[in-house]
Amino acid sequence: MTRLLISTNHREVLNSAISGWLYVVDLENRTVLKRSAGVEAPYRVHDTNPRGGMRGIRGMGFRNGEVALSNYSSILFFDCHWNLLRAFTHPSVSSIHEICYAEDGIWVTSTANDVLARFKLDGELDPLIYMRTQKPLMRRLGGPLRQVVRLKDLVAGKKDFRLRTYFNLDVYDRTHLNGICQMPDGRLLMSLGLLVGDYFGFLMNIKTVMLKLKVWNLFLALNRGVRRLLHRDKKMLSDLVVQPAKGKSAIVSLGAEGDWRTHLILPTAQNPSHSIRFLSDGTAAYLNTSHGEVVHFRLDGQVLSNTKVSERFLRGLLELPDGRLALGSSNNVLIFDLKICSIVDRIELSSDPLNSVFDIQFLPPDFDLPPDSLEEKVGRIAGYDGHTILWESGTTPVTP
């Protein structure tokens, strides 16, 4: 039996409700074997983003008989019986999207602030790479160059990005670093899901002023009226009829010597692209979420196919043993055949389209099914004190 472990982000749920689930799916029989509630990130009361925000279980990774699960602001390690082994967090690691559990530690995409970080096996953070300091790469891609926080302050954790009470994502998140995997030669392959330059930041300052003057909602209402008159389709995450600045998505890789390579650029992204995976034949697949497409390409940038598969939010990608791809489309897992560029099967996880797939991994055969609730098993996270996770009274603290 081939079992898939799938994490989800349940959008628009109340802050008091469960926002992230683990599903175990029998791939051959297309059945859901288990649904398990995850461990929630703290401080959700401060989250005003209905689309995702601080909700959900995020990226996952397996290594040496362990599974690492991430939520918005921490990484929890479990054994094959789902006993909690240790937990990592850092003030500068936030809005975690995907993780890569490698031999030298666990690489994390900190999407909130354009940071790529590695937790060593003892929980120390080294290195921390602030994407805006990678000037040649950002110039080549037209990305952000202005540093809004000092690298040494990020390393020291002087600003706590886990709280979401003081910072504006529009200012700090300009590359939307989100997907990550490792290639056989050790290079890290990454998605810069929505890359915007400093001009975009200028426009966001104008939006901030309009919000303070309380005219932004009126401006959006006028755009919606014009769009209906012109019979134009609504963009997935925007009401604007004309986009004054457009972003792009890019696939880059990082070598052990700190050298960057650019492999693919997708122009005019309206929404972040997600989930990059290196495939067994040496090519790669990427989910162009803006257009609901699966992009199959070579690392020299040649696009082999670009296939529209869904009108729903695409995230989560895994190559199956037969070479086909499992990919997340809202509350469904789609099975995509690269040879014929077509969806050949579909597995519905739940009846709620807002319970959206985040990551897809294989569940090893020696792993038990997860409990009904991981939080009930290991405890609720109450908050953080620097690098330490504070657990609610009655639970046993777990430290690196």
Range 246-273 average pLDDT? 90
- Give the pLDDT band (50/70/90) at residue 394: very low
Is the per-residue pLDDT at 220 higher than 80? Answer: no
pLDDT in tens, 190-207: 999 999 887 666 666 677
Is the per-residue pLDDT at 83 higher than 90? Answer: yes
Nearest by Cα to 188 from 240, 134, 245, 253: 253
- Give the pLDDT band (50/70/90) at residue 397: very low
Whether residue 112 is found in the same domain as residue 15 = yes
Whether the link from the prior residue into 91 is cis, omega within 30° of 0, is: no
DSSP string, 44-88: GGG---SSSTT-S---EEEETTEEEEE-SS-EEEE-TT--EEEEE
Range 269-283 average pLDDT? 91
CATH number at residue 19: 2.120.10.30
User: Which of 244, 279, 310 delimits the end of a domain?
Assistant: 244
Whether residue 166 is found in the same domain as residue 281 = yes
Whether residue 334 is found in the same domain as residue 236 = no
Nearest by Cα to 329 from 350, 360, 294, 356: 356
User: Which of 227, 244, 261 delimits the end of a domain?
Assistant: 244
Please indicate, yes or no, if residue 396 is contained in any of the structural domains.
Answer: no
**Are 270 and 243 a contacting pair, CB within 8 Å?**
yes
Alpha-carbon distance of 376 to 373, in angstroms, equals 5
Residue position matching structure tokens 């690691």: 93
**Are 262 and 140 a contacting pair, CB within 8 Å?**
yes
Please indicate, yes or no, if residue 399 is contained in any of the structural domains.
Answer: no
Whether residue 229 is found in the same domain as residue 144 = no
Whether residue 185 is found in the same domain as residue 84 = yes
Whether residue 35 is found in the same domain as residue 114 = yes
Whether residue 272 is found in the same domain as residue 236 = no
* DSSP E strand boundaries for 228-370: 247-254, 260-269, 274-278, 284-288, 293-297, 303-308, 314-319, 325-329, 332-337, 342-348, 355-362
**Are 287 and 296 a contacting pair, CB within 8 Å?**
no
Is the per-residue pLDDT at 273 higher than 60? Answer: yes
pLDDT score of 136: 96
Please indicate, yes or no, if residue 335 is contained in any of the structural domains.
Answer: yes
Specify the number of domains making up the chain.
2
Please indicate, yes or no, if residue 227 is contained in any of the structural domains.
Answer: yes
List the single range of 245-254, 270-279, 387-396 with lowest mean pLDDT. Answer: 387-396
pLDDT score of 124: 94
List the single range of 37-46, 50-59, 359-368 with lowest mean pLDDT. Answer: 50-59
Type of residue numbered 49: N
Whether residue 31 is found in the same domain as residue 144 = yes
Whether residue 285 is found in the same domain as residue 387 = yes
Q: Where are the alpha helices (DSSP H) in the chain?
A: 135-141, 151-156, 169-172, 198-212, 216-230, 374-378
pLDDT in tens, 52-64: 688 999 999 999 9
User: Going edge to edge, which strands form the sheet with 260-269?
Assistant: 177-182, 188-195, 247-254, 260-269
Whether residue 185 is found in the same domain as residue 205 = no
List the single range of 29-38, 232-241, 263-272 with lowest mean pLDDT. Answer: 232-241
Please indicate, yes or no, if residue 397 is contained in any of the structural domains.
Answer: no
Tokens of 83: 């006993």
Question: pLDDT higher for 48 or 297?
Answer: 297
Whether residue 206 is found in the same domain as residue 344 = no
Please indicate, yes or no, if residue 398 is contained in any of the structural domains.
Answer: no
Q: Which domain holds residue 211?
A: 198-244
Whether residue 78 is found in the same domain as residue 113 = yes
Residue 140 has a CB neighbour count (10 Å cut-off) of 14
User: Which of 183, 218, 244 delimits the end of a domain?
Assistant: 244
